[in-house]
């Protein structure tokens, strides 16, 4: 005779998930999809849920979250440039400021496309005084990104004090760099995301700098290998004219990003002698020893740099 407790456990295990549980699981998978792969995950999620209403609820919640987290870049409808999907430029849930052209793009998060464009209002733009600093930094940052990230897009936003119209007050600028290489047909995608906050302090005549870099890569041909790394930085420089500040701040960004990339490349060179050996069996089930003496044939460092489009 079966134990009543066992029967209850089995019945509980077979209980149908509630609609809320299904939606929450779908949101988690969609929000955490690797860069360039959310549409593929969404297709499978829709099939597994089997309920268009639940899927639409999950998609409307997770796609904006995913797009902002990965600093998705979208081409403007008039092909004049790109807008970065970031909270720093968010006017509302579907409108995002493109500060370089002073336009606001309407975004369809699920289709990942711009569906409209309008001029930004005066209230949405910084004062002429702040715009001098924002514009100068944007110009210098564009030069750097064009050199360092062949597939990179950058933008500079004023996040505090945008209405200040004379010297003598504090304000903040934020610089965003987003670069990605999406090649799902070759089973690999990758992205570089960096956010730099510049706090202009009038009383000390200093600019405090805080940076955060995130790198992600996913290889999934006959396997599932992911790289996810991030680092944070702090620095400062003297509060100067808009042009001088822009040059100095961009040089600091260049220095920290170059050093971080070099440290990653150095760690990749030691992967065969450390991490890979710890992950792989001494003698795998094939009874064939791994060729540690010839690991260059696996060229992870070279392929990763190529797919991310960085370090050129």
pLDDT in tens, 224-262: 888 888 999 999 999 999 999 999 999 999 999 999 999
Tell me the C-alpha distance between 41 and 175, whole Å.
30
Tell me the C-alpha distance between 275 and 268, whole Å.
10
Return the CATH fold of 15-69. Ribosomal protein S3 C-terminal domain (3.30.1140)
Residue pair 107/86 in contact (Cβ under 8 Å)? The answer is no
pLDDT band at 267 (very low <50, low <70, confident <90, very high): confident
Length of the chain: 312
Domain residue extents for the chain: 15-69, 77-119, 126-308
Residue pair 81/114 in contact (Cβ under 8 Å)? The answer is no
Tell me the C-alpha distance between 193 and 212, whole Å.
8
In the chain, % of residues over pLDDT 90: 65
Domains 77-119 and 126-308 share a fold: no
Return the CATH fold of 77-119. Ribosomal protein S3 C-terminal domain (3.30.1140)
User: Which tens digit of pLDDT belongs to each residue from 273-300?
Assistant: 555 555 555 555 555 655 555 555 455 5
Tokens standing for residue 158: 């004023």
The architecture that CATH gives domain 126-308 is Alpha-Beta Complex (3.90)
User: Torsions phi, psi of 22, nearest 5?
Assistant: -60, -45
First vs last C-alpha separation in the chain: 71
């Amino acid at each position: 005779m079966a134990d009543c407790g066992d029967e209850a456990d089995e019945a509980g295990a077979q209980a149908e998930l509630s609609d809320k549980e299904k939606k929450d699981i779908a949101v988690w998978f969609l929000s955490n999809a690797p860069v360039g792969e959310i549409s593929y995950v969404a297709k499978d999620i829709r099939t597994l849920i089997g309920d268009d209403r639940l899927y639409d609820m999950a998609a409307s919640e997770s796609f904006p979250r995913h797009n902002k987290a990965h600093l998705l870049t979208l081409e403007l409808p008039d092909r004049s440039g790109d807008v970065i999907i970031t909270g720093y430029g968010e006017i509302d849930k579907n409108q995002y400021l493109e500060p370089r052209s002073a336009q606001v793009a309407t975004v369809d998060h699920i289709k990942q496309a711009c569906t409209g464009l309008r001029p930004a209002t005066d209230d949405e733009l910084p004062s002429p005084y702040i715009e001098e600093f924002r514009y100068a930094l944007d110009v210098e940052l564009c030069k750097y990104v064009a050199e360092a990230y062949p597939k990179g897009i950058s933008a500079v936003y004023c996040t505090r004090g945008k209405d200040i119209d004379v010297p003598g007050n504090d304000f903040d600028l934020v610089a965003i760099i987003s670069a990605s290489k999406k090649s799902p047909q070759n089973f690999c995608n990758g992205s570089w995301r960096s956010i730099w906050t510049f706090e202009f302090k009038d009383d000390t005549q200093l600019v405090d700098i805080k940076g955060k870099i995130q790198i992600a890569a996913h290889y999934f041909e006959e396997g599932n290998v992911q790289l996810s790394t991030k680092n944070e930085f702090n620095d400062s420089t003297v509060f100067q004219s808009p042009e001088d500040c822009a040059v100095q701040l961009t040089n600091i960004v260049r220095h920290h990003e170059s050093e971080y990339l070099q440290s990653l490349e150095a760690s990749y060179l030691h992967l065969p002698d450390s991490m890979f050996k710890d992950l792989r069996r001494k003698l795998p089930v094939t009874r064939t020893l791994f060729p540690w003496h010839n690991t260059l044939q696996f060229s992870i460092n070279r392929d990763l740099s190529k797919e991310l489009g960085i370090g050129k």
